[in-house]
Structure 1
Amino acid sequence: MYVAQDWQDYEVIDTGGGEKLERWGDVILRRPDPQIIWPIEQEDGQWRSVHGHYHRSSSGGGQWDMKKQLPDRWTISYDQLKFHIRPTNFKHTGLFPEQAANWRWMMDKIAAAGRPISVLNLFAYTGGATVAAASAGAQVVHVDAAKGMVQWAKENAALSGLADRPIRYITDDVFKFVQREERRGNKYDAIIMDPPSYGRGPSGETWKLEQSLYPFLESCMNIVSDNPLFMLINSYTTGISPTVLNNMLTMTMKPKYGGTISAGEIGLPITRTGMNLPCGILGRWES
């Protein structure tokens, strides 16, 4: 498991009963997590005195029960990177902190490359990987179908002191964008993708990971540079094994570029128990 262990402003305090107790800066939130199928060992005062508790609805979705006054948004830091945090209607906060394990890896790869690196971040959400790559000196193209998420990413970059860095923000269907980049002859030294299980593009295009991911990866092969640095695939889709990502990278990147492939779970440490919370999977190809 790749564990994001070096956070200061974020912490999984405890887990149990299908929920996790988290600290986001000075804010304590209680949110559901389907991986947590063990009971809470001790539901003490910290579990009960949270700022906000997200309750799932039996009919789908859910809502926040805010116990204490919160600002509309607040800021947390990871090293020199800064992010706006805001509880959304879908239980999320605008950041997946386990991805810090990938941020650290890609920052080290880019900084050690000794050459200009162009990065394409697809399904890029609020730009955690974008600001990480840009902070390490890369030129980044950030693509997401949701206009609000792209704006949030711009704000995170500015917050991190990266507003003047070479970052292009694109609101578009990622599949169509990649096909256009191929026609333009544009190439990238590193590609990051964090595809959803299901999704829709800005014009109603549909995405289903099990059917769409491999053809999409094949399409991305047409815009990989002659001297690539890395390819990173993240997935939060239930039932997809890290070996699946390993196999896909072995079938696409390995024959053409050689390199090294690694895959596994990605997770976060749980303070009270010393265990790790699994959060998703990743597959990495690196030169």
Structure 2
Amino acid sequence: MWIADQWKDYEVIDTSDGEKLERWGDYMLVRPDPQVIWNTAKKHRGWKKPNAHYHRSNKGGGEWEFFDLPDIWQVHYKTLTFRLQPFQFKHTGLFPEQAVNWDWVCGRIQKANRPVKVLNLFAYTGGATLAAASAGAAVTHVDASKGMVGWAKENAAVSGLTEAPIRWLVDDCVKFVERE
């Protein structure tokens, strides 16, 4: 199993009763996690004083409860910077567990000894796109959400990758692949 253990700005601090306590930079969040099926004592102070807590609804979805959290903040992974903000369905705009995949992609690109092109479908806010671009690949970033592509562009900017060869596309990924 690969573990995303190279983060300095992210960690899972504790888990219990269907929730996880996470540190994202300087902020602690409590979010639901259906794989946390055990109930242990919640001893860490973050359980009592998180910066935000996402509460699941019995009807589906849920909502954030904010205590002391900016609307937008940043975290860093190696040379990359990501803008985060809590939004629907408990998300923050980043899946930190994917960092092991970013590292794998970067390693493959760096060892290729040739120009590499990467197609990133369902590309969300650009974690894999930025990792591949930072390793020297030309990337086509495709997501159906204009907002997510805009967010990915912001992440590229704060990561110093505005001039990287990234083609940004708002498109249905399946239709794009069929067409291209």
TM tier, shorter chain? over 0.9
> CA-to-partner distance for each residue in 1:35-61, whole Å, 9 max, x for gaps?
000113334422111000100001111
Q: Write the distance in 2 (CA, Å) between the matches of 1:111 and 1:27.
A: 33
- TM-aligned CA distance change 1:178 to 1:41, over 3 Å: same
Deviation at 1:71, TM superposition (A): 1.6
Q: Write the distance in 2 (CA, Å) between the matches of 1:120 and 1:36.
A: 33
Match of 1:130 in 2: 129
Deviation at 1:21, TM superposition (A): 0.2
Match of 1:114 in 2: 113
C-alpha contact 2:16 2:42 (8 A) present in aligned 1? no
Ranked by relative contact order (alpha carbons within 8 Å, sequence separation 6 or more), the top structure is 1
Match of 2:70 in 1: 71
Q: Unaligned stretches of 5+ in structure 2?
A: none
Q: Write the distance in 1 (CA, Å) between the matches of 2:17 and 2:89.
A: 19
C-alpha contact 2:14 2:44 (8 A) present in aligned 1? no
Match of 1:170 in 2: 169
Deviation at 1:123, TM superposition (A): 0.4
C-alpha contact 2:16 2:36 (8 A) present in aligned 1? yes
Match of 2:85 in 1: 86
Kindly report which structure 2 residues correspond to 1:196-211, keeping only aligned pairs within 5 A, or say none.
Answer: none
What is the identity, as a one-letter code, of the residue corresponding to 1:37? I
What's the TM-score once normalised by structure 2's chain length? Answer: 0.98
Deviation at 1:179, TM superposition (A): 1.5
What is the identity, as a one-letter code, of the residue corresponding to 1:159? V
Query: Pairwise CA RMSD of aligned residues?
Result: 0.9
- TM-aligned CA distance change 1:113 to 1:44, over 3 Å: closer
What is the identity, as a one-letter code, of the residue corresponding to 1:48? K
List 4+ stretches of structure 1 deviating above 3 A.
none
Q: Write the distance in 2 (CA, Å) between the matches of 1:71 and 1:3.
A: 29
Kindly report which structure 2 residues correspond to 1:179-218, keeping only aligned pairs within 5 A, or say none.
Answer: 179-181=178-180
What's the TM-score once normalised by structure 1's chain length? Answer: 0.62
> CA-to-partner distance for each residue in 1:65-109, whole Å, 9 max, x for gaps?
1122x2210110001000001000221000000000001111011
Match of 2:4 in 1: 4
Q: Write the distance in 2 (CA, Å) between the matches of 1:45 and 1:5.
A: 23
The reply on whether 1:97 has 2:92 as its aligned counterpart is no
SS of match in other structure, 1:92? coil
Q: Unaligned stretches of 5+ in structure 1?
A: 182-287
What is the identity, as a one-letter code, of the residue corresponding to 1:39? N
Match of 1:140 in 2: 139
What is the identity, as a one-letter code, of the residue corresponding to 2:177? V
| Identity level (%) | 62
Q: Write the distance in 2 (CA, Å) between the matches of 1:10 and 1:44.
A: 16
Q: Write the distance in 1 (CA, Å) between the matches of 2:43 and 2:58.
A: 23
Match of 1:61 in 2: 61
